[in-house]
Chains A and B, each alone.
Chain A
Amino acid sequence: MTVRPLKTADPALAAPAPPVRRQRGPLWLGWRRFLANRAAVAGGAVLSVILAMAILAPLITPAGPNAQAFLADALAFPSAAHWFGVDDLGRDFFTRIVYGARVSLTIGFAAAAFSVLIGIPLGAAAGYFGGSIDWVIMRLIEIFSVIPPLLAAMLLGALVGGGFWMIVFIAALFGWVQVCLLVRAQIKAFKEKEFVRAAQALGAGPVYIIFRHLIPNSVSPIIVGFVLAIPLAMMLEASLSFLGVGVPPPTPSWGQMINTGMNFMYFYWHLAVFPTVALAVTVLATSLFGDGLRDALDPTMGGR
């Protein structure tokens, strides 16, 4: 097709645009808003430090997590040699805490990933098709909202025995609800937009519209749902392990360590304090990071 310049062209537009201008997508704007939120940036920084420690655990710890290498120093208080002291079975406590981060974070991320995997298709179907599909999914969500997750998890955990994947499964079972609601709301809002009608007028089917238009426009709630599902899963794991139906010993888990530490609390404070602080700091950092992301990616915050 030949291109014929039109006499109606806007003269300001026909002139070459300013050279090499950074193209700024909607996500870039969100990122800039995120950087302006100090608490969220701090949370993200702490979270990355914890992540780095968990990944590099073998390089920064003196012994394996289950090695009873320091039996002679059992229950020793923190010192230069043992930063967080030694536990009752002669294991370096800093090592245990760092490896505990591995368990906690893996469960958090795995459960969040499964929550997203369940939540996106259900939320997209409920939001796009509405009607009876929406009705069924909403009733399902209501069922999951009225069951206290911890009680259900204890029951399930006691029935099938704890274990890593069991906890991931239980956390995802209760984590998808939030993601589903966020995705559903976003898709409900966007499916009435005229670019969706324009795509329909072009002959696009629902699968194309959902995957090409609606889910990309829902990245913000999906990211937020993912990050906010992580601390919930971590807390659930810690609670179950604390109650003895979670990750079985000797796998290091913060909840388990808090339980053991309680027995020694009045004489050897470090055994209870360090795992509690580790859990609290990680959950807080993740929540702050997630809240910051939510605020930054919320389309109602302006800057469009």
Chain B
Amino acid sequence: MSAPAAAPALELRGIAKTYMLREGGTLRRRHRPLQAVRPTDLVLERNGILGLVGESGSGKTTTGMMALRLVNPSGGRILLEGDDITDLGVTALKPYRRRMQVVFQDSYSALDPMFTLQQIVAEPLVIHGIGDARSRAARALEWLERVGLHRSYGSRYPHELSGGQRQRVAIARALILEPAVLVADEPTSALDVSVKAQIINLLQDLQADMDLSILFISHDLSVVRSLCDRVAVMFNGRIVEEAEAETIFTGARHPYTRALLDAIPVLDPRRRRTRIFRDRDAIEAEGLTLAAGALSEPAEPSDEPALVAVAPRHRVEAVVTP
């Protein structure tokens, strides 16, 4: 692509999504806006793995779908390798679609039941008109092997596979075009623990092999810790904390991040600690207040919470007092 090499793989600037909810009957219809994602900035660095964590309904999947232009944002810009793809039409967008791909949570519905595995993996080549039938088939079989499935699986159907095997096929389909960005929307949350580890290792290997940048959407903090370089925590449609993965796990500042970490079960009973489970409203009310002097970059004091830097590459949402 023509973009400067310094541009991040994917950048979201002030991206937001508001759904209009219809209420009432035909005569007294009202529209109530629901802010699924409030204006959000997010940067996925080249060859980086950014974890996007948060509870169900926090807007993390919507953010991922907007980054892929599968859901149109209500505002903000999407930059793929420095190119603004926010307003591109279907035709203009198609070349960019080769550069970003997606793996979904439900591997069963992610594969067309009428297709054989070889057809599924070769489909991106068909859509983008790459190669002829024979070279597509050969490349699809190579990719099946690359994700750890034997070539002979090429003529099988998705219903003959286990969940982990289906997820491998979905990964092969997503990566056959050698994209720069992969959005992985909870790819492991429907799998059991040992299979989950295999899929995570596979993603790690492929990421290192292909110079891939991954936006990894998950609510599973243990997976995020082992896989991601950076972590952004979403809560009620906005990012409340963003930092290097280790910083999040060792020095989280925002009460919601702490509550999330607190919810991870501890296996050793002697290390069991008192845990407090708080609801959304309590966390929202608690918030975080920082004095202006405690910030690493200066910020205007304000009564409204805003994302401020508390350390290099560590942003947290807080009310800044003078």
B residues within 8 A CB of A304? Answer: 113, 159
Closest partner residue, chain A, to B106 (CB atom): A194
A residues within 8 A CB of B156? Answer: 23
Q: How far is the CB of A95 from chain B (nearest CB, A)?
A: 45
A residues within 8 A CB of B128? Answer: 202-203
With contact pairs A6-B148, A8-B201, A9-B148 given, residues A201 and B113 touching in the complex (Cβ less than 8 Å): no
Closest partner residue, chain B, to A23 (CB atom): B155
Q: How far is the CB of B98 from chain A (nearest CB, A)?
A: 8
State the interface size on chain A (CB cutoff 8 A).
36
Is B286 interfacial (CB-CB < 8 Å)?
no
B127 touches A203 (CB 8 A): yes
B113 touches A26 (CB 8 A): yes
Q: How far is the CB of B151 from chain A (nearest CB, A)?
A: 9
Closest partner residue, chain B, to A304 (CB atom): B159
Please give the residue numbers on chain B whose beta carbons come within 8 Å of chain A beta carbons, in ascending order: 68, 70, 90, 93-94, 97-98, 100-102, 104, 106, 109-114, 116, 120, 123-124, 127-128, 139, 142, 145-150, 152-153, 155-157, 159-160, 164-165, 170, 173-174, 177, 198, 201-202, 205, 209
A residues within 8 A CB of B150? Answer: 13-17
A1 touches B113 (CB 8 A): no
In Å, the complex CA distance between A15 and B151 comes to: 10
With contact pairs A23-B157, A201-B97 given, residues A194 and B104 touching in the complex (Cβ less than 8 Å): yes
Contact with B along A1-45 (1 / 0, CB 8 A): 101111111100111110000011110000000000000000000
Closest partner residue, chain B, to A206 (CB atom): B90
B145 touches A3 (CB 8 A): yes
15 A–B contacts, CB within 8 A, in A order: A3-B145, A10-B164, A23-B155, A25-B157, A26-B114, A194-B104, A197-B104, A198-B104, A198-B174, A200-B70, A201-B101, A203-B127, A204-B127, A213-B112, A304-B113
Contact with B along A50-70 (1 / 0, CB 8 A): 000000000000000000000
A17 touches B148 (CB 8 A): no
Give the interface SS of chain A, mostly helix, strand, loop or mixed: loop
B102 touches A5 (CB 8 A): no
B residues within 8 A CB of A201? Answer: 68, 70, 97, 100-102
Chain A positions 203-237 with a Cβ under 8 Å from a chain B Cβ: 203-205, 208, 213, 216-217, 219
B113 touches A14 (CB 8 A): no
B residues within 8 A CB of A10? Answer: 148-149, 164-165, 198
Closest partner residue, chain B, to A200 (CB atom): B70
Is A133 interfacial (CB-CB < 8 Å)?
no
With contact pairs A26-B114, A194-B110 given, residues A3 and B146 touching in the complex (Cβ less than 8 Å): yes
A217 touches B112 (CB 8 A): yes
In Å, the complex CA distance between A10 and B153 comes to: 13
A197 touches B142 (CB 8 A): no
Q: How far is the CB of B161 from chain A (nearest CB, A)?
A: 10
Pick the contact of B90: A14, A26, A205 (CB < 8 A). Answer: A205
B123 touches A199 (CB 8 A): yes
Is A195 interfacial (CB-CB < 8 Å)?
yes
